Structure 1
Amino acid sequence: MKVGRDKRDSRWDAHREQRRAALVGSAIGAIRRHGAGIGMDEIAASAATSKTVIYRHFGDRTGLYTAICESVAGVLLAEVRRATAAALADSGRGPRAAVAAGIDAYLRLIEIDPELYRFVVQRPLLTQGTARRSPATDGGHDPVNDLVTVIGDEVAAVIAGNLGDPAPGETDRRAAARIWGHAIVGLVRGAADDWLARPDGTPREQLATHLTDLAWSGLSGLASHVQEVHP
């Protein structure tokens, strides 16, 4: 028999979610002001509360880190989707423009929020003090890898959607689209991390162009190769 929740408990769910969202927003603001190496004391002070209250909502610092990553992931994924969809909707542009738009959307977040990006990918909050843990080593999901996977799947879908149907007897190129999509994301992330760690004055637009040229040269060459080998 299904037992219903006490209404006195469930009616506070919306309030708890609002409070969690407010704490995440406050933490993100604190990261922007103080840098990726921010500690829990600074995060709590920025929220005008205590670490005990934060842990009550998130369990521990890993829980807070995960919630921040999920918030950043939501924004980034929405921007990548918006940028690629807009490019594909323009009949005068095409799939190459969609790849370029997705790459630029990723780089734009880093340019606008470098400290927040460092906080997410370098996990400094999880290596402070005695809390040398990560979601992956704790048996939970890793929000950074989850984000990379989702974006890779998005890019793969764009590629697959523009390859067309295979000819009779031809290997389905869409099966390779997943590999290509995730390879592009790895390419962009590696270059972006280096761009942030060792700035040399390269503008975001130029970096996006270089990465698009490299990615598209590979994609167009591979697609052509598959068609030739499997006529």
Structure 2
Amino acid sequence: MDHDPEPPPAPSTAPRDGRDSRWERHREERRAALVDATIRAIRTHGAGVGMDDIAAEAGTSKTVIYRHFDDKAGLYRAVAERIDGRVVRNVGAALSRSSTPAADTRELVASTVEAYLALVESDTEVYRFVVNRPLVDRPLADDPVGGTVDQVTDQLTGLLLEALRASTTDPSRARTWAIALVGSVRAVADDWLATPEGDRAPRASVVDSLTDLAWHGLAPVLAPTTTTTTS
């Protein structure tokens, strides 16, 4: 049975010393290792993985896991934050590829949708674990998924505001559009994964469909000065 060492005793009024710092570092490393083990267990057993499977993968006991995360919700939150960090990085990288979003916003939308769906498809069971929350039996006050959606929405809002600078469109609409875009991509991704793999549309087709929908709504207001005159 795996047993973590107890932290060194320290007087409540004493300043932090080297032992405290080493213990904190040990705890962070141990927590990271347990999150790694949980993700491996999810990939092996699927999104409905149980705590016994996670403990076996980690080579420890459920008691030790709870010592580091308090409860199942704490472990779920740590895994969700790890995966959501990947989402933010991947989508953020796609959003940052264009320094002049108004010039080619359609390509920007397409690359953003592609970045999200590629991550979802490459780690399907882990994504389902984060979205479906099988370990959580109560609402979370600090929902990590909601925080990630907000970060991506903020990034997209900034780019849309930049694209609207030369437009007469009310800039307050940028956030509304960003929320709609992020929400639609997430909803489509959830439905796409729920479809049996043999009946599932190719990722490229889904990316094209979402991009077309977004672009036909955005193009008229992002490029208001481009008009075609016929004689």
> Which residue of 2 is the match for residue 213 of structure 1?
212
* 2:184 is equivalent to residue 187 of structure 1: yes
Contact (CA 8 Å) 1:95, 1:158: kept in 2 or not? no
Choose from 104, 119, 125 the match for 1:115.
125
Query: 1:223 Cα deviation (Å)?
Result: 4.6
**CA–CA separation in structure 2 for the residues paired with 1:161 and 1:24:** 38
Contact (CA 8 Å) 1:40, 1:51: kept in 2 or not? yes
The structure, 1 or 2, with the larger RCO (C-alpha pairs under 8 Å, 6+ apart) is: 2
Query: 1:224 Cα deviation (Å)?
Result: 6.4
> Which residue of 1 is the match for residue 227 of structure 2?
none
> Which residue of 2 is the match for residue 103 of structure 1?
113
Change in Cα spacing, 1:83 to 1:224, as seen in structure 2 (3 Å) is: closer
- Percent identity, aligned pairs only, is 49
Q: After TM superposition, where is structure 1 displaced by more than 4 Å over at least 4 residues in a row? A: 222-225
**CA–CA separation in structure 2 for the residues paired with 1:102 and 1:115:** 21
Query: 1:3 Cα deviation (Å)?
Result: 6.3
Task: State the Cα deviation string for residues 104-140 of structure 1 (Å, max 9, x = none).
Answer: 11101111111111100111111xxxxx2131xxxx3
* 2:20 is equivalent to residue 19 of structure 1: no
Task: State the Cα deviation string for residues 32-67 of structure 1 (Å, max 9, x = none).
Answer: 111000011100100001111111111111000000
> Which residue of 2 is the match for residue 228 of structure 1?
none
Which structure has the bigger radius of gyration? 2
Partner AA of 1:157 in structure 2: G
Question: Please, what TM-score do these two structures have when normalized by structure 2?
Answer: 0.83
Matches within 5 A, 1:1-231: 4-86=15-97, 88-89=98-99, 94-126=104-136, 132-135=137-140, 140-165=141-166, 173-199=170-196, 200-223=199-222
Contact (CA 8 Å) 1:32, 1:115: kept in 2 or not? yes
Contact (CA 8 Å) 2:100, 2:163: kept in 1 or not? no
Aligned residue-pair number:
210
Question: Please, what TM-score do these two structures have when normalized by structure 1?
Answer: 0.83
Partner AA of 1:17 in structure 2: E
